[in-house]
Structure 1
Amino acid sequence: MNILSIQSHVAYGHVGNASAAFPMQRLGHEVWAVNTVQFSNHTGYGAWRGPVFPAEAIREVVTGIEERGVLPSCDGVLSGYMGDAAIGETILDAVARVKAANPTALYACDPVIGDVGRGVFVRPGIPEFMRDRALPAADVVTPNQFELEFLAGAQVTSLDAAKAAAGALLARGPRVALVTSLQTAETPADSIEMVAVDGEGAWRLRTPLLPVSVNGAGDAIAALFFVHLLTTGSAAEALSRASSSVYGVLKATAAAGSREILTVAAQDEFVAPSEVFAPEPC
Protein backbone atom coordinates (compact mmCIF):
# COMPACT_ATOMS: atom_id res chain seq x y z
CA MET A 1 0.00 0.00 0.00
CA ASN A 2 0.94 3.66 -0.35
CA ILE A 3 0.32 5.99 2.59
CA LEU A 4 0.67 9.79 2.52
CA SER A 5 1.72 10.70 6.07
CA ILE A 6 1.63 14.39 6.99
CA GLN A 7 2.93 15.17 10.48
CA SER A 8 5.92 16.34 12.48
CA HIS A 9 9.49 15.05 12.23
CA VAL A 10 12.46 15.05 14.58
CA ALA A 11 16.09 14.36 13.74
CA TYR A 12 16.87 12.77 17.10
CA GLY A 13 14.43 10.28 18.56
CA HIS A 14 11.07 9.08 17.34
CA VAL A 15 7.88 11.14 17.25
CA GLY A 16 5.59 12.11 14.40
CA ASN A 17 6.77 10.76 11.07
CA ALA A 18 9.97 9.63 12.75
CA SER A 19 7.81 7.24 14.78
CA ALA A 20 5.01 6.45 12.32
CA ALA A 21 6.75 5.96 8.99
CA PHE A 22 9.22 3.18 9.81
CA PRO A 23 6.69 0.74 11.36
CA MET A 24 4.53 1.03 8.24
CA GLN A 25 7.58 0.56 6.02
CA ARG A 26 8.70 -2.43 8.08
CA LEU A 27 5.35 -4.02 7.28
CA GLY A 28 6.02 -3.54 3.58
CA HIS A 29 4.09 -0.36 2.85
CA GLU A 30 5.38 2.69 0.98
CA VAL A 31 5.19 5.90 3.02
CA TRP A 32 5.20 9.31 1.39
CA ALA A 33 6.26 11.39 4.39
CA VAL A 34 5.52 15.11 4.39
CA ASN A 35 6.82 16.88 7.49
CA THR A 36 4.94 19.71 9.18
CA VAL A 37 7.93 20.62 11.36
CA GLN A 38 11.63 19.75 11.39
CA PHE A 39 12.76 19.76 15.01
CA SER A 40 16.04 18.61 16.48
CA ASN A 41 14.20 16.52 19.10
CA HIS A 42 10.75 16.18 20.63
CA THR A 43 9.52 19.05 22.77
CA GLY A 44 9.34 16.92 25.91
CA TYR A 45 13.00 17.71 26.49
CA GLY A 46 12.02 21.32 27.17
CA ALA A 47 14.40 22.67 24.54
CA TRP A 48 14.60 22.06 20.82
CA ARG A 49 15.56 23.75 17.59
CA GLY A 50 14.11 23.84 14.11
CA PRO A 51 11.23 25.35 12.13
CA VAL A 52 7.52 24.85 11.80
CA PHE A 53 6.97 24.76 8.05
CA PRO A 54 4.45 27.22 6.60
CA ALA A 55 1.28 25.76 5.17
CA GLU A 56 2.22 26.81 1.64
CA ALA A 57 5.47 24.83 1.79
CA ILE A 58 3.53 21.68 2.70
CA ARG A 59 1.04 22.37 -0.09
CA GLU A 60 3.93 22.65 -2.54
CA VAL A 61 5.30 19.27 -1.53
CA VAL A 62 1.89 17.64 -1.95
CA THR A 63 1.50 19.34 -5.33
CA GLY A 64 4.85 17.92 -6.39
CA ILE A 65 3.69 14.43 -5.45
CA GLU A 66 0.45 15.01 -7.34
CA GLU A 67 2.42 16.07 -10.42
CA ARG A 68 4.09 12.67 -10.48
CA GLY A 69 0.67 11.22 -11.27
CA VAL A 70 0.71 8.84 -8.31
CA LEU A 71 -2.27 9.98 -6.25
CA PRO A 72 -4.57 7.33 -7.80
CA SER A 73 -2.33 4.72 -6.14
CA CYS A 74 -2.51 6.35 -2.70
CA ASP A 75 -4.47 4.09 -0.34
CA GLY A 76 -4.70 6.47 2.61
CA VAL A 77 -3.73 9.75 4.22
CA LEU A 78 -2.51 9.87 7.82
CA SER A 79 -2.14 13.13 9.73
CA GLY A 80 -0.73 13.86 13.17
CA TYR A 81 0.94 16.82 14.86
CA MET A 82 0.35 19.91 12.73
CA GLY A 83 2.49 22.61 14.29
CA ASP A 84 0.09 25.37 13.24
CA ALA A 85 -3.66 25.56 12.63
CA ALA A 86 -3.15 26.87 9.07
CA ILE A 87 -1.47 23.58 8.19
CA GLY A 88 -4.74 21.81 8.90
CA GLU A 89 -6.49 23.25 5.86
CA THR A 90 -3.54 22.18 3.73
CA ILE A 91 -3.92 18.64 5.06
CA LEU A 92 -7.63 18.60 4.27
CA ASP A 93 -6.83 19.88 0.78
CA ALA A 94 -4.39 16.99 0.35
CA VAL A 95 -7.08 14.56 1.53
CA ALA A 96 -9.51 15.99 -1.02
CA ARG A 97 -6.95 15.63 -3.81
CA VAL A 98 -6.19 12.03 -2.89
CA LYS A 99 -9.86 11.08 -2.65
CA ALA A 100 -10.61 12.74 -5.99
CA ALA A 101 -7.90 10.59 -7.55
CA ASN A 102 -8.82 7.43 -5.59
CA PRO A 103 -12.32 7.44 -4.09
CA THR A 104 -11.54 4.31 -2.04
CA ALA A 105 -8.71 6.01 -0.12
CA LEU A 106 -9.30 6.70 3.57
CA TYR A 107 -8.19 9.54 5.84
CA ALA A 108 -6.96 8.74 9.35
CA CYS A 109 -6.64 11.70 11.71
CA ASP A 110 -4.57 11.37 14.85
CA PRO A 111 -5.96 14.48 16.59
CA VAL A 112 -2.87 15.54 18.50
CA ILE A 113 -4.11 18.09 21.06
CA GLY A 114 -2.87 17.16 24.51
CA ASP A 115 -2.83 14.48 27.16
CA VAL A 116 -4.06 13.66 30.66
CA GLY A 117 -1.82 15.39 33.18
CA ARG A 118 -0.37 17.77 30.58
CA GLY A 119 -3.47 19.41 29.18
CA VAL A 120 -3.36 21.07 25.77
CA PHE A 121 0.17 21.30 24.38
CA VAL A 122 -0.44 22.48 20.81
CA ARG A 123 -0.74 26.00 19.45
CA PRO A 124 -3.97 28.01 19.76
CA GLY A 125 -6.57 27.17 17.14
CA ILE A 126 -5.46 23.58 16.61
CA PRO A 127 -7.88 21.97 19.12
CA GLU A 128 -10.83 23.76 17.55
CA PHE A 129 -9.64 22.85 14.04
CA MET A 130 -9.44 19.19 15.04
CA ARG A 131 -12.95 19.28 16.49
CA ASP A 132 -14.70 21.37 13.86
CA ARG A 133 -12.86 20.60 10.60
CA ALA A 134 -10.64 17.52 10.78
CA LEU A 135 -13.02 15.23 12.69
CA PRO A 136 -15.93 15.51 10.20
CA ALA A 137 -13.52 14.90 7.31
CA ALA A 138 -11.87 11.82 8.82
CA ASP A 139 -12.72 8.18 8.14
CA VAL A 140 -10.62 7.02 11.09
CA VAL A 141 -9.87 9.00 14.26
CA THR A 142 -7.41 7.94 17.00
CA PRO A 143 -7.69 10.20 20.07
CA ASN A 144 -6.23 9.50 23.48
CA GLN A 145 -8.51 9.83 26.49
CA PHE A 146 -7.90 13.57 26.93
CA GLU A 147 -8.50 14.24 23.23
CA LEU A 148 -11.63 12.09 23.23
CA GLU A 149 -13.10 14.17 26.06
CA PHE A 150 -12.33 17.40 24.22
CA LEU A 151 -13.69 16.25 20.88
CA ALA A 152 -16.84 14.72 22.36
CA GLY A 153 -17.37 17.45 24.96
CA ALA A 154 -17.89 14.87 27.69
CA GLN A 155 -15.98 13.41 30.62
CA VAL A 156 -14.81 9.82 30.22
CA THR A 157 -14.70 8.08 33.60
CA SER A 158 -15.97 4.62 32.64
CA LEU A 159 -15.88 2.17 29.76
CA ASP A 160 -19.49 2.98 28.91
CA ALA A 161 -18.65 6.68 28.83
CA ALA A 162 -15.69 5.99 26.52
CA LYS A 163 -17.90 4.00 24.16
CA ALA A 164 -20.55 6.72 24.20
CA ALA A 165 -17.99 9.43 23.52
CA ALA A 166 -16.46 7.42 20.68
CA GLY A 167 -19.94 6.88 19.28
CA ALA A 168 -20.50 10.62 19.39
CA LEU A 169 -17.39 11.07 17.25
CA LEU A 170 -18.64 8.52 14.71
CA ALA A 171 -21.92 10.42 14.49
CA ARG A 172 -19.93 13.39 13.17
CA GLY A 173 -18.27 11.58 10.27
CA PRO A 174 -15.61 8.94 11.00
CA ARG A 175 -16.29 5.26 10.41
CA VAL A 176 -13.88 4.02 13.07
CA ALA A 177 -12.59 5.46 16.35
CA LEU A 178 -9.64 4.12 18.32
CA VAL A 179 -9.27 5.43 21.88
CA THR A 180 -5.74 5.06 23.25
CA SER A 181 -4.21 5.39 26.72
CA LEU A 182 -7.56 4.79 28.40
CA GLN A 183 -7.70 4.51 32.19
CA THR A 184 -11.05 4.67 33.94
CA ALA A 185 -12.28 3.68 37.39
CA GLU A 186 -12.73 0.17 36.00
CA THR A 187 -9.15 -0.17 34.74
CA PRO A 188 -6.85 -2.10 37.09
CA ALA A 189 -4.01 0.02 38.46
CA ASP A 190 -1.43 -2.15 36.71
CA SER A 191 -3.10 -1.95 33.29
CA ILE A 192 -3.91 0.39 30.43
CA GLU A 193 -6.63 -0.01 27.81
CA MET A 194 -7.59 0.81 24.26
CA VAL A 195 -11.07 0.75 22.78
CA ALA A 196 -12.00 0.51 19.11
CA VAL A 197 -15.50 1.38 17.96
CA ASP A 198 -17.07 1.12 14.52
CA GLY A 199 -20.51 0.59 13.04
CA GLU A 200 -20.46 -3.09 13.98
CA GLY A 201 -19.51 -2.86 17.65
CA ALA A 202 -16.89 -2.01 20.25
CA TRP A 203 -13.82 -3.86 21.47
CA ARG A 204 -11.58 -3.34 24.49
CA LEU A 205 -7.97 -4.45 24.72
CA ARG A 206 -6.08 -4.36 28.02
CA THR A 207 -2.29 -4.63 28.40
CA PRO A 208 0.02 -4.37 31.42
CA LEU A 209 1.05 -0.82 32.32
CA LEU A 210 4.78 -0.61 31.72
CA PRO A 211 7.21 1.55 33.74
CA VAL A 212 8.10 3.74 30.78
CA SER A 213 7.35 7.31 29.76
CA VAL A 214 8.32 8.08 26.17
CA ASN A 215 6.97 10.14 23.32
CA GLY A 216 6.00 8.68 19.97
CA ALA A 217 4.06 5.58 21.05
CA GLY A 218 0.74 7.18 20.11
CA ASP A 219 2.07 8.10 16.67
CA ALA A 220 3.14 4.50 16.07
CA ILE A 221 -0.20 3.14 17.33
CA ALA A 222 -2.18 5.39 14.99
CA ALA A 223 -0.05 4.40 11.99
CA LEU A 224 -0.14 0.68 12.73
CA PHE A 225 -3.88 0.67 13.46
CA PHE A 226 -4.55 2.48 10.19
CA VAL A 227 -2.53 0.16 7.93
CA HIS A 228 -3.83 -2.96 9.66
CA LEU A 229 -7.37 -1.65 9.28
CA LEU A 230 -6.76 -1.04 5.58
CA THR A 231 -5.29 -4.51 5.02
CA THR A 232 -7.69 -6.57 7.17
CA GLY A 233 -10.89 -4.50 7.10
CA SER A 234 -11.37 -5.34 10.79
CA ALA A 235 -11.16 -2.80 13.61
CA ALA A 236 -10.80 -5.61 16.16
CA GLU A 237 -7.92 -7.25 14.27
CA ALA A 238 -6.22 -3.89 13.71
CA LEU A 239 -6.55 -3.18 17.44
CA SER A 240 -4.94 -6.51 18.35
CA ARG A 241 -2.04 -6.19 15.91
CA ALA A 242 -1.23 -2.55 16.61
CA SER A 243 -1.49 -2.86 20.39
CA SER A 244 0.56 -6.04 20.53
CA SER A 245 3.34 -4.53 18.44
CA VAL A 246 3.60 -1.30 20.39
CA TYR A 247 3.45 -3.15 23.70
CA GLY A 248 6.43 -5.24 22.60
CA VAL A 249 8.39 -2.16 21.58
CA LEU A 250 7.57 -0.38 24.84
CA LYS A 251 8.52 -3.47 26.86
CA ALA A 252 11.94 -3.47 25.17
CA THR A 253 12.21 0.28 25.75
CA ALA A 254 11.47 -0.13 29.46
CA ALA A 255 14.00 -2.95 29.78
CA ALA A 256 16.66 -0.77 28.19
CA GLY A 257 15.82 2.23 30.38
CA SER A 258 15.66 4.39 27.25
CA ARG A 259 14.09 7.84 27.13
CA GLU A 260 13.37 7.31 23.43
CA ILE A 261 11.12 4.57 22.09
CA LEU A 262 13.21 1.78 20.53
CA THR A 263 11.56 1.96 17.12
CA VAL A 264 14.56 0.53 15.28
CA ALA A 265 16.13 -1.78 17.86
CA ALA A 266 12.81 -3.53 18.57
CA GLN A 267 11.53 -3.45 15.00
CA ASP A 268 10.75 -7.17 14.82
CA GLU A 269 7.80 -6.47 17.12
CA PHE A 270 6.07 -4.70 14.24
CA VAL A 271 6.11 -7.85 12.13
CA ALA A 272 5.86 -10.61 14.75
CA PRO A 273 4.90 -9.37 18.23
CA SER A 274 6.40 -11.46 21.01
CA GLU A 275 3.07 -11.26 22.86
CA VAL A 276 -0.31 -11.12 21.16
CA PHE A 277 -3.24 -9.54 22.98
CA ALA A 278 -6.81 -10.30 21.91
CA PRO A 279 -9.57 -7.70 22.17
CA GLU A 280 -12.88 -8.51 23.80
CA PRO A 281 -16.27 -7.23 22.74
CA CYS A 282 -17.54 -4.61 25.15
Structure 2
Amino acid sequence: MQILSIQSHVAFGYVGNSAAVFPVQRLGHEIWPVLTVNFSNHTGYGEWRGPLIAPADVSAVIEGIADRGALPTIDAVLSGYQGDPAVGAVVLEAVARVKAANPDAVYCCDPVMGDVGRGFFVRPGIPEFMRDQVVPAADIITPNHFELDFLARRSTSTLEEVLDAVDTVRATGPRDVLVTSVVHGALGEQEIEMVAVSDEGAWAVTTPLLPITPNGGGDVTAAVYLAHLRSKRSPEAALGLTANTMFAILEKTLASGRRELELIASQDAIATPPTRFEVRRLR
Protein backbone atom coordinates (compact mmCIF):
# COMPACT_ATOMS: atom_id res chain seq x y z
CA MET A 1 0.00 0.00 0.00
CA GLN A 2 1.13 3.55 -0.75
CA ILE A 3 -0.10 6.58 1.18
CA LEU A 4 0.31 10.25 0.27
CA SER A 5 0.45 12.11 3.60
CA ILE A 6 0.04 15.90 3.47
CA GLN A 7 0.81 17.22 6.95
CA SER A 8 3.11 19.31 9.10
CA HIS A 9 6.64 18.24 10.02
CA VAL A 10 8.84 18.85 13.05
CA ALA A 11 12.52 18.04 13.41
CA PHE A 12 12.28 17.43 17.17
CA GLY A 13 9.47 15.23 18.45
CA TYR A 14 6.49 13.63 16.82
CA VAL A 15 3.48 15.39 15.34
CA GLY A 16 2.02 15.47 11.84
CA ASN A 17 4.10 13.58 9.32
CA SER A 18 6.84 13.15 11.92
CA ALA A 19 4.34 11.06 13.89
CA ALA A 20 2.64 9.32 10.95
CA VAL A 21 5.53 8.17 8.78
CA PHE A 22 7.37 5.72 11.03
CA PRO A 23 4.31 3.74 12.22
CA VAL A 24 3.09 3.29 8.66
CA GLN A 25 6.53 2.19 7.52
CA ARG A 26 6.84 -0.17 10.50
CA LEU A 27 3.59 -1.76 9.34
CA GLY A 28 5.25 -2.43 6.00
CA HIS A 29 3.69 0.27 3.83
CA GLU A 30 5.05 3.08 1.69
CA ILE A 31 4.21 6.62 2.78
CA TRP A 32 5.19 9.76 0.91
CA PRO A 33 5.26 12.80 3.23
CA VAL A 34 4.40 16.20 1.78
CA LEU A 35 5.18 18.93 4.31
CA THR A 36 2.93 21.90 5.08
CA VAL A 37 5.29 23.34 7.72
CA ASN A 38 8.89 22.56 8.66
CA PHE A 39 9.22 23.52 12.32
CA SER A 40 11.91 22.82 14.87
CA ASN A 41 9.30 21.39 17.29
CA HIS A 42 5.56 21.38 17.79
CA THR A 43 3.84 24.55 18.94
CA GLY A 44 2.85 23.06 22.30
CA TYR A 45 6.25 24.20 23.61
CA GLY A 46 5.17 27.81 23.16
CA GLU A 47 8.05 28.70 20.87
CA TRP A 48 9.45 27.20 17.70
CA ARG A 49 11.47 28.04 14.63
CA GLY A 50 11.10 27.26 10.96
CA PRO A 51 8.87 28.12 8.03
CA LEU A 52 5.32 27.61 6.99
CA ILE A 53 5.35 26.10 3.52
CA ALA A 54 3.46 28.27 1.05
CA PRO A 55 0.40 26.54 -0.44
CA ALA A 56 1.87 26.97 -3.92
CA ASP A 57 5.02 25.13 -2.81
CA VAL A 58 2.98 22.32 -1.26
CA SER A 59 1.12 22.04 -4.55
CA ALA A 60 4.39 22.04 -6.47
CA VAL A 61 5.67 19.05 -4.50
CA ILE A 62 2.49 17.13 -5.29
CA GLU A 63 2.83 18.14 -8.93
CA GLY A 64 6.35 16.73 -8.91
CA ILE A 65 5.02 13.42 -7.59
CA ALA A 66 2.45 13.45 -10.39
CA ASP A 67 5.27 14.05 -12.88
CA ARG A 68 6.72 10.69 -11.85
CA GLY A 69 3.46 9.04 -12.93
CA ALA A 70 2.82 7.99 -9.34
CA LEU A 71 -0.76 9.15 -8.72
CA PRO A 72 -2.41 5.94 -10.02
CA THR A 73 -0.36 3.92 -7.51
CA ILE A 74 -1.57 5.86 -4.45
CA ASP A 75 -4.05 3.91 -2.34
CA ALA A 76 -4.89 6.64 0.16
CA VAL A 77 -4.39 10.32 0.93
CA LEU A 78 -3.94 11.26 4.59
CA SER A 79 -4.20 14.76 6.04
CA GLY A 80 -4.14 16.25 9.52
CA TYR A 81 -3.86 19.81 10.83
CA GLN A 82 -4.76 22.39 8.20
CA GLY A 83 -3.85 25.84 9.42
CA ASP A 84 -5.03 27.72 6.35
CA PRO A 85 -7.96 27.19 3.96
CA ALA A 86 -5.49 27.65 1.09
CA VAL A 87 -3.59 24.56 2.25
CA GLY A 88 -6.90 22.76 2.64
CA ALA A 89 -7.72 23.61 -0.96
CA VAL A 90 -4.42 22.05 -2.04
CA VAL A 91 -5.27 18.90 -0.09
CA LEU A 92 -8.71 18.65 -1.69
CA GLU A 93 -7.23 19.19 -5.14
CA ALA A 94 -4.71 16.42 -4.49
CA VAL A 95 -7.47 14.09 -3.33
CA ALA A 96 -9.46 14.77 -6.50
CA ARG A 97 -6.43 14.11 -8.70
CA VAL A 98 -5.53 10.89 -6.90
CA LYS A 99 -9.08 9.60 -7.11
CA ALA A 100 -9.26 10.48 -10.80
CA ALA A 101 -6.09 8.45 -11.37
CA ASN A 102 -7.15 5.62 -9.03
CA PRO A 103 -10.91 5.42 -8.32
CA ASP A 104 -10.26 2.90 -5.54
CA ALA A 105 -8.17 5.38 -3.54
CA VAL A 106 -9.60 6.86 -0.33
CA TYR A 107 -9.13 10.08 1.59
CA CYS A 108 -8.57 9.87 5.35
CA CYS A 109 -8.93 13.19 7.18
CA ASP A 110 -8.00 13.79 10.79
CA PRO A 111 -10.08 16.97 11.31
CA VAL A 112 -7.76 18.65 13.80
CA MET A 113 -9.55 21.60 15.38
CA GLY A 114 -9.52 21.36 19.18
CA ASP A 115 -10.04 19.18 22.23
CA VAL A 116 -11.97 18.91 25.47
CA GLY A 117 -10.59 21.36 28.02
CA ARG A 118 -8.72 23.36 25.39
CA GLY A 119 -11.49 24.37 23.03
CA PHE A 120 -10.52 25.32 19.50
CA PHE A 121 -6.82 25.90 18.89
CA VAL A 122 -7.00 26.65 15.16
CA ARG A 123 -7.54 29.97 13.43
CA PRO A 124 -11.10 31.36 13.22
CA GLY A 125 -12.86 29.97 10.18
CA ILE A 126 -10.87 26.72 10.07
CA PRO A 127 -13.47 24.65 12.00
CA GLU A 128 -16.23 25.72 9.62
CA PHE A 129 -13.99 25.04 6.63
CA MET A 130 -13.23 21.56 7.94
CA ARG A 131 -16.90 20.80 8.67
CA ASP A 132 -18.40 22.22 5.50
CA GLN A 133 -15.79 21.45 2.84
CA VAL A 134 -13.12 18.99 3.95
CA VAL A 135 -15.03 16.37 5.96
CA PRO A 136 -17.73 15.89 3.27
CA ALA A 137 -14.94 15.07 0.79
CA ALA A 138 -13.41 12.42 3.05
CA ASP A 139 -14.02 8.68 3.07
CA ILE A 140 -12.51 8.16 6.54
CA ILE A 141 -12.35 10.65 9.40
CA THR A 142 -10.79 10.35 12.85
CA PRO A 143 -12.17 13.15 15.06
CA ASN A 144 -11.79 13.25 18.80
CA HIS A 145 -14.94 13.62 20.92
CA PHE A 146 -14.77 17.42 20.95
CA GLU A 147 -14.37 17.57 17.17
CA LEU A 148 -17.21 15.11 16.60
CA ASP A 149 -19.56 17.31 18.60
CA PHE A 150 -18.64 20.31 16.48
CA LEU A 151 -19.04 18.41 13.23
CA ALA A 152 -22.46 17.13 14.32
CA ARG A 153 -23.51 20.51 15.77
CA ARG A 154 -24.44 19.04 19.16
CA SER A 155 -23.09 18.08 22.58
CA THR A 156 -22.83 14.38 23.41
CA SER A 157 -22.03 12.45 26.56
CA THR A 158 -23.45 8.93 26.28
CA LEU A 159 -22.39 6.32 23.76
CA GLU A 160 -25.86 6.42 22.24
CA GLU A 161 -25.52 10.16 21.70
CA VAL A 162 -22.05 9.67 20.22
CA LEU A 163 -23.43 7.12 17.74
CA ASP A 164 -26.26 9.46 16.76
CA ALA A 165 -23.71 12.24 16.18
CA VAL A 166 -21.59 9.93 14.06
CA ASP A 167 -24.63 9.06 11.95
CA THR A 168 -25.23 12.76 11.37
CA VAL A 169 -21.66 13.28 10.21
CA ARG A 170 -21.63 10.14 8.07
CA ALA A 171 -24.68 11.47 6.24
CA THR A 172 -22.50 14.35 4.96
CA GLY A 173 -20.03 12.04 3.20
CA PRO A 174 -17.48 9.97 5.16
CA ARG A 175 -18.42 6.31 5.53
CA ASP A 176 -15.81 5.26 8.11
CA VAL A 177 -15.57 7.25 11.34
CA LEU A 178 -13.18 6.61 14.20
CA VAL A 179 -13.95 8.70 17.29
CA THR A 180 -11.10 8.97 19.77
CA SER A 181 -10.97 10.21 23.37
CA VAL A 182 -14.54 9.40 24.39
CA VAL A 183 -14.18 9.75 28.17
CA HIS A 184 -16.64 8.56 30.80
CA GLY A 185 -16.72 7.32 34.38
CA ALA A 186 -16.27 8.83 37.84
CA LEU A 187 -13.31 11.09 38.49
CA GLY A 188 -10.29 8.99 39.35
CA GLU A 189 -11.78 5.91 37.73
CA GLN A 190 -12.27 7.27 34.26
CA GLU A 191 -11.97 5.16 31.15
CA ILE A 192 -11.48 6.22 27.56
CA GLU A 193 -12.95 4.71 24.46
CA MET A 194 -12.39 4.57 20.74
CA VAL A 195 -15.54 4.10 18.71
CA ALA A 196 -15.54 2.96 15.07
CA VAL A 197 -18.59 3.18 12.81
CA SER A 198 -18.97 2.02 9.22
CA ASP A 199 -21.61 0.59 6.92
CA GLU A 200 -20.89 -2.75 8.59
CA GLY A 201 -21.78 -1.66 12.13
CA ALA A 202 -20.36 0.07 15.20
CA TRP A 203 -17.78 -1.06 17.76
CA ALA A 204 -15.93 0.28 20.79
CA VAL A 205 -12.76 -0.46 22.75
CA THR A 206 -12.40 0.70 26.35
CA THR A 207 -9.01 1.30 27.99
CA PRO A 208 -7.92 2.99 31.23
CA LEU A 209 -7.42 6.75 30.97
CA LEU A 210 -3.71 7.34 31.48
CA PRO A 211 -2.56 10.64 33.05
CA ILE A 212 -0.80 11.75 29.88
CA THR A 213 -1.79 13.88 26.89
CA PRO A 214 1.23 14.03 24.56
CA ASN A 215 1.10 15.90 21.29
CA GLY A 216 0.90 13.73 18.20
CA GLY A 217 -1.25 10.92 19.58
CA GLY A 218 -4.09 11.72 17.21
CA ASP A 219 -1.70 11.84 14.25
CA VAL A 220 -0.39 8.36 15.05
CA THR A 221 -3.92 7.06 15.59
CA ALA A 222 -5.16 8.30 12.21
CA ALA A 223 -2.16 6.86 10.36
CA VAL A 224 -2.31 3.47 12.09
CA TYR A 225 -6.09 3.13 11.67
CA LEU A 226 -5.86 4.02 7.98
CA ALA A 227 -3.05 1.53 7.45
CA HIS A 228 -4.97 -1.30 9.11
CA LEU A 229 -8.27 -0.43 7.45
CA ARG A 230 -6.74 -0.29 3.97
CA SER A 231 -4.90 -3.56 4.56
CA LYS A 232 -8.26 -5.22 3.90
CA ARG A 233 -9.01 -5.52 7.59
CA SER A 234 -12.54 -4.95 8.85
CA PRO A 235 -13.29 -1.76 10.83
CA GLU A 236 -13.69 -3.98 13.89
CA ALA A 237 -10.23 -5.50 13.47
CA ALA A 238 -8.64 -2.13 12.59
CA LEU A 239 -10.16 -0.60 15.73
CA GLY A 240 -8.80 -3.33 18.00
CA LEU A 241 -5.32 -3.15 16.53
CA THR A 242 -5.25 0.65 16.69
CA ALA A 243 -6.55 0.93 20.26
CA ASN A 244 -4.12 -1.65 21.60
CA THR A 245 -1.21 -0.08 19.75
CA MET A 246 -1.99 3.41 21.03
CA PHE A 247 -2.38 2.28 24.64
CA ALA A 248 0.99 0.51 24.46
CA ILE A 249 2.64 3.66 23.05
CA LEU A 250 1.08 5.92 25.68
CA GLU A 251 1.93 3.51 28.49
CA LYS A 252 5.57 3.39 27.43
CA THR A 253 5.66 7.16 27.03
CA LEU A 254 4.25 7.64 30.53
CA ALA A 255 6.82 5.25 32.00
CA SER A 256 9.66 7.09 30.27
CA GLY A 257 8.80 10.42 31.86
CA ARG A 258 9.45 12.14 28.53
CA ARG A 259 7.14 14.62 26.87
CA GLU A 260 7.43 13.21 23.36
CA LEU A 261 5.83 9.96 22.21
CA GLU A 262 8.03 6.88 22.55
CA LEU A 263 7.44 5.74 18.97
CA ILE A 264 10.75 4.03 18.35
CA ALA A 265 10.70 2.22 21.68
CA SER A 266 7.14 1.09 20.87
CA GLN A 267 7.88 -0.23 17.41
CA ASP A 268 7.18 -3.86 18.31
CA ALA A 269 3.74 -2.88 19.60
CA ILE A 270 3.15 -1.09 16.29
CA ALA A 271 4.23 -4.02 14.14
CA THR A 272 2.58 -6.68 16.34
CA PRO A 273 -0.08 -5.03 18.51
CA PRO A 274 -0.84 -6.62 21.88
CA THR A 275 -4.36 -7.91 22.54
CA ARG A 276 -5.04 -6.58 26.02
CA PHE A 277 -8.32 -4.83 25.24
CA GLU A 278 -11.20 -6.43 23.38
CA VAL A 279 -13.53 -4.89 20.84
CA ARG A 280 -17.23 -5.04 21.60
CA ARG A 281 -20.01 -4.56 19.10
CA LEU A 282 -22.40 -1.66 19.73
CA ARG A 283 -24.81 -2.36 16.90
TM norm structure 2: 0.96
Q: C-alpha separation between the residues in 2 aligned to 1:73 and 1:257?
A: 41
Q: Does 1:53 align with 2:53?
A: yes
CA contact (8 A) 1:143 1:178 kept: yes
On the 8 A contact 1:39/1:48 being kept in 2, the answer is yes
Q: In the alignment, does 2:63 pair up with 1:63?
A: yes
Name 1:18's counterpart in structure 2. 18
Return the alpha-carbon distance in structure 1 between the equivalents of residues 81 and 88 of structure 2.
10
Instruction: Say if 2:71 is the partner of 1:76.
Output: no
- Cα distance in 2 for partners of 1:32, 1:171 equals 30
C-alpha RMSD of matched pairs (Å) = 1.4
Match for residue 219 of structure 2?
Answer: 219
Which residue identity lines up with residue 177 of structure 2 in the other structure?
A
- AA matched with 1:26: R
CA 1:186–1:88 in 2, change beyond 3 Å: closer, same or farther?
Answer: farther
1:185 and 1:170 map into 2 onto residues whose CA distance is: 27
Distance (Å, rounded) in 1 between the aligned partners of 2:187 and 2:68: 49
Contact 1:9/1:15 (<8 A) preserved:
yes
Q: Is the 8 A contact 2:111 2:130 kept in 1?
A: yes
Shift, 1:186, TM fit: 8.5
In structure 1, give the amino acid aligned to 2:148: L
Query: Higher mean Cα deviation, 10-19 or 124-133?
Result: 124-133
- Counterpart residue number, 1:9: 9
Residue 188 of structure 1 and its aligned partner are, at CA, apart by 8.3
2:97 counterpart residue number:
97
Q: Does the aligned pair in 2 maintain the 1:241–1:276 contact within 8 Å? A: no
Q: Which runs of 5+ in 1 are unaligned?
A: none
- Which residues of 2 match residues 1-282 of structure 1 at below 5 A? 1-184=1-184, 189-282=189-282
Partner SS state of residue 230, structure 2 = helix
Whole-angstrom CA distance in 2 between matches of 1:213 and 1:82: 21
Give the counterpart letter for 1:73 in structure 2: T
Report if the CA contact (8 A) 1:113-1:122 is conserved.
yes
User: In the TM superposition, what whole-angstrom CA distance separates every residue of 1:231-281 from its partner, at most 9, and x where no partner exists?
Assistant: 134111110111111111111111111100011122111011244422101
Q: Which runs of 5+ in 2 are unaligned?
A: none
Contact 2:184–2:191 at 8 Å: present in 1 too? no
Contact 1:182 1:194 in 2 (8 A): yes
Verify the 8 A CA contact 1:159 1:186 in the aligned structure 2. no
Contact 1:8 1:35 in 2 (8 A): yes
Greater mean alpha carbon deviation, residues 90-99 or residues 175-184: 175-184
